[in-house]
Amino acid sequence: MRQVTVGKLSIKKEPPCYNLSANQKSKVGIPLLSLAYINQTVTDLQSFLFNKLINNTINFDEMTKLTEKSLNELIVEMVQSVLSDVEEVIRESSDRKQNYWIHRSNDLKVIATKFGDIEYSRAYYRNKTTDNFTYLLDDLLEIEPHQRIDNNLQSQIIENAKDMSYQQAIDKIENISIHSKQTTYNLVHKLSRESIELPLEETIEKRTPQYLYIEADEDHVAMQDSSNKQMKLVYVHTGFNHEKSTDKRHVLNIERCFTGWYPNNDELWLEVSAFIEETYDTQNIKQIFLSGDGASWIKSGVDYLPANTTFVLDPFHTKQATVRSVVGLGPKAKETLGLLRRWIRFNQKGKVKRYFDPRLSDPDLSSSEKKALEANRKYLLNHWTAIQNQYRPGYISCSAEGHVSHILSSRLSSRPLGWSIKGAENIAKLRVYKLNGGQIDQLVLLTNKQKQKERKVIQLDDRITGAKKAEYTAIHNGSIVNYGSSSSPLGVLKRTFS
């Protein structure tokens, strides 16, 4: 054991056991990872890879995977060494000694990261004034008392979960000790509904597209109690993106998506309206089109949107109802379908009405066929004005069905799953959050900061902290900098931690 004197304070340090293995070093608790060990680790790795390649016993993919694994292990050791050193600074700090007693000396903490598990020991302190207990190192690191996963790994798991099952979200990540889908469940459910929504940005100058389009539809999601609930989707766009579109596929300029249960439709449409009013000069937009399948929750949006908004029944459901209206006609179905489409196209509502009257009294139709025919008659006639709005200048059809399939159904309902309301809504909102330009890592960071308790972080003794900084600076400017080229593994590590 040796002593390092800093001012009037002596800090006890372990000797530099360069010849110890990583395992042995972790047991004796060396506070500063030695340069000799780092250099030797990288040199051994390079030599091992070279020999494997020369002997043709390893390919490129295996080489990069092995390099990643080795460097991950080195990163874990480096972080553990730094944490050990910081804990020593805290423990020897005059401020700590003045305000805190050591209640327990070496409590182990394990934090799962993308590099592997970080293990470190720290003291459990008791405040001399308040009698409160705390881990000062955890406070400094902004680690919660029961936290077992770092923010970066949390972000990766949540990022995966929005696109795949909870178990797959865990299994996809290597080098971690977490294997239960319950972890994914907990992380997804921890997110608040409000946090997974990007705040509106103040617009310096509002835009004025000639036409604005709002499309809406819903996905039907199976619940754990065997019920079925609607996950609503609304998106706002300004028409086709001609640079990205092809002859076979038209791409929209989608500017904002909204999703959720929204049992109260007012809440959804007020959010959509707020975005539109904040982003566009609505008074100078020629026409705003709201498209959907005619569900009451969609049509109610007109009451919340700017006055120049028109509801349009989407062509897909118009065509679907028209095709179903020729049920039971046999060989005449094709010709009759053409007539119906022509009458609809040229606003001949009377002819459509007269078509249905004799059909509904046809004795050859079964009761189920008559019921379906009556439903389609009502659908077409009740939405007649909305159907005619398809032919107004500027309208470019509606693709809400396809977007619901891609954004929601592919994760929520395409496979036999049983969701909780919170889980399904959070996953839906996460998918839309990304589409709207949100970053999952920032979302996790913000969520965890909001949940952190207010706690006092110890003010470390400047003299001791300064001495430790000088010690690390000497290492940073020493042989570790000059070892190998700037593109060597060690050079990469140096830049990573600069």
- Provide DSSP, 34-75: -HHHHHHHHHHHHHHHHHHHHTT---HHHHHHHHHHHHHHHH
The answer to whether 319 and 286 are in contact (CB under 8 A) is: no
- Answer yes or no: is pLDDT of 33 > 80: no
401 and 488 fall within a common domain: no
295 and 425 fall within a common domain: yes
Q: What is the dihedral of CA 46, 52, 53, 55, to 10 degrees?
A: 140
270 and 414 fall within a common domain: yes
485 and 421 fall within a common domain: no
Give the pLDDT score at 472: 62
Mean of the per-residue pLDDT values of the chain: 85
Give the pLDDT score at 32: 53
225 and 286 fall within a common domain: yes
| CA dihedral over 307, 213, 261, 295, signed as positive or negative | positive
Write the pLDDT tens digit of every residue in 314-355. Answer: 999 999 999 999 988 889 999 999 999 999 999 999 999 999
86 and 235 fall within a common domain: no
DSSP 241: -
Q: Is residue 489 part of a domain?
A: yes
Give the pLDDT score at 458: 46
Write the pLDDT tens digit of every residue in 155-188. Answer: 999 999 999 999 999 999 988 999 999 999 999 9
Q: Is residue 40 part of a domain?
A: yes
Q: Is residue 350 part of a domain?
A: no
- Answer yes or no: is pLDDT of 99 > 50: yes
For the ranges 2-16, 67-81, 351-365, 459-473, the lowest mean pLDDT is seen at 2-16
Residue 30, C-beta contacts closer than 8 angstroms, at least 6 positions apart: 14, 16, 17, 20, 81, 84
Q: Is residue 128 part of a domain?
A: no
Give the confidence band of 416 by pLDDT, cuts at 50, 70, 90. confident
pLDDT (mean) for 226-231: 94
- The share of the chain scoring above pLDDT 70, in percent, equals 84
Give the confidence band of 449 by pLDDT, cuts at 50, 70, 90. confident
Give the pLDDT score at 127: 93
- Answer yes or no: is pLDDT of 96 > 80: yes
Cα–Cα distance measured from residue 413 to residue 409, given in angstroms and rounded to the nearest whole number: 5
264 and 411 fall within a common domain: yes
219 and 83 fall within a common domain: no
Q: Is residue 276 part of a domain?
A: yes
453 is written with which tokens?
Answer: 């308790």
Place of tokens 């036999």: 416
User: Distances from the Cα of 336 to the Cαs of 231, 340, 376, 380, in angstroms?
Assistant: 37, 6, 15, 16
Q: What is the domain-level CATH number for residue 274?
A: 3.30.420
272 and 420 fall within a common domain: yes
pLDDT (mean) for 405-418: 92
Structural domain span for residue 489: 2-96+461-496
Give the pLDDT score at 26: 44
Q: Is residue 153 part of a domain?
A: no
406 and 469 fall within a common domain: no
Give the confidence band of 470 by pLDDT, cuts at 50, 70, 90. low
The answer to whether 229 and 412 are in contact (CB under 8 A) is: no
User: Distances from the Cα of 224 to the Cαs of 161, 190, 200, 227, in angstroms?
Assistant: 18, 19, 34, 7
Give me the helices (H) in 162-249, please: 166-171, 181-190
Write the pLDDT tens digit of every residue in 56-70. Answer: 999 999 999 999 999
- Answer yes or no: is pLDDT of 464 > 60: no
217 and 86 fall within a common domain: no
Q: Is residue 119 part of a domain?
A: no
419 and 484 fall within a common domain: no
Cα–Cα distance measured from residue 272 to residue 224, given in angstroms and rounded to the nearest whole number: 30
Q: Is residue 232 part of a domain?
A: yes
The answer to whether 3 and 10 are in contact (CB under 8 A) is: yes
Q: What total of structural domains would you count in the chain?
A: 2
Answering whether pTM is above 0.75, one says: yes
- Answer yes or no: is pLDDT of 308 > 80: yes
